[in-house]
Amino acid sequence: MITIGILGGTGDLGNALAIHLCKYYEKILIGSRLKERAARVIDDLISRSAMGEDATRKLKEHLVPATNQEVAALSDIVIAAFPYEGALEAVKGLSPSFREGQLFISAIAPVAKRGGHFVNPEESNPLSIAQRLKGFLPRSTKVATAFQTVPAKAIYDKSSVDADVFVSSEDFETYQSVQQIVQRVGGLRALYAGGLEMSKQLEGLTALLLNIGSKNHMKNPTFKITSLRPA
């Protein structure tokens, strides 16, 4: 049985992913700094569920409250959904807990608002957040980035959303593992953006997307790539 754990899983993105992934994975750890808070969030998800009887049963049976330390220690696949501010510190603090051979997917998007615009406050750093997080993880961990441009609210209570998720990962095999997870969130299509060196570009897309959304009065903007000619 594969265990997925979400660090910072009590937030909007963690909740939205958990709602979809619990249909496919029997154990999803919802991580929090406070396990009681994770338990409350799960209760809330169950009580507000409008997903039908079978899906609500899966929420009850498959979502498990956890500390972030438990997520790090017990998961096969870790999704990091910490807010950008504090994410590096949080993962560094968990460093001794991570186990060997995990898949670590960073959904973290560095965004700040300056002068009325969204910016990437890490623009001048040569390394992405994901590349820096890798330094706190065991050498055997495979690191990827995904979900930076998918608004949690768009996937929260919808069975399907037509959007692309750009993935960068250490190798193509890792991408394929991430692709399987992404495509289990109804309607999302994974697209390979290249190795982890591409993660800085991907992390920077969130600020661009939020600017486009706000200047054009678009709610929950996201990306969908089209190709004019078949490849």
Ligand X SMILES: NC(=O)c1ccc[n+]([C@@H]2O[C@H](COP(=O)([O-])OP(=O)(O)OC[C@H]3O[C@@H](n4cnc5c(N)ncnc54)[C@H](OP(=O)(O)O)[C@@H]3O)[C@@H](O)[C@H]2O)c1
**Residues of this chain that bind ligand X (CB under 6 A):** 8, 10-14, 32-34, 37, 81-84, 86, 90, 107-109, 147-148, 150-152
| Distance in Å, CB of 56 to ligand X, minimum | 22
Nearest by Cα to 165 from 181, 103, 157: 181
d(CA 223, CA 83): 21
Our CB check for ligand X shows the closer of 21 and 81 to be 81
Q: Is 103 helix (H, G, I), strand (E, B) or coil?
A: strand
| Distance in Å, CB of 53 to ligand X, minimum | 27
- Pinpoint the alpha helices (H) of 99-198: 129-134, 152-156, 172-182
Our CB check for ligand X shows the closer of 101 and 135 to be 135
Stretch (H or E) spanning 59:
helix 53-62
| Distance in Å, CB of 7 to ligand X, minimum | 8
| Distance in Å, CB of 151 to ligand X, minimum | 4
Our CB check for ligand X shows the closer of 57 and 223 to be 223
Cα distances from 27 to residues 50, 151, 172, 188, in angstroms, run 21, 24, 26, 21
| Distance in Å, CB of 61 to ligand X, minimum | 22
Stretch (H or E) spanning 131:
helix 129-134
| Distance in Å, CB of 144 to ligand X, minimum | 14
d(CA 1, CA 37): 25
Our CB check for ligand X shows the closer of 8 and 204 to be 8
State the residue number with the nearest CB to ligand X.
11
Q: Are 154 and 223 in contact (CB under 8 A)?
A: no
Q: What angle do CA 40, 43, 45 make, to 5 degrees?
A: 110
Our CB check for ligand X shows the closer of 94 and 196 to be 94
Our CB check for ligand X shows the closer of 67 and 179 to be 67
Stretch (H or E) spanning 31:
strand 27-32
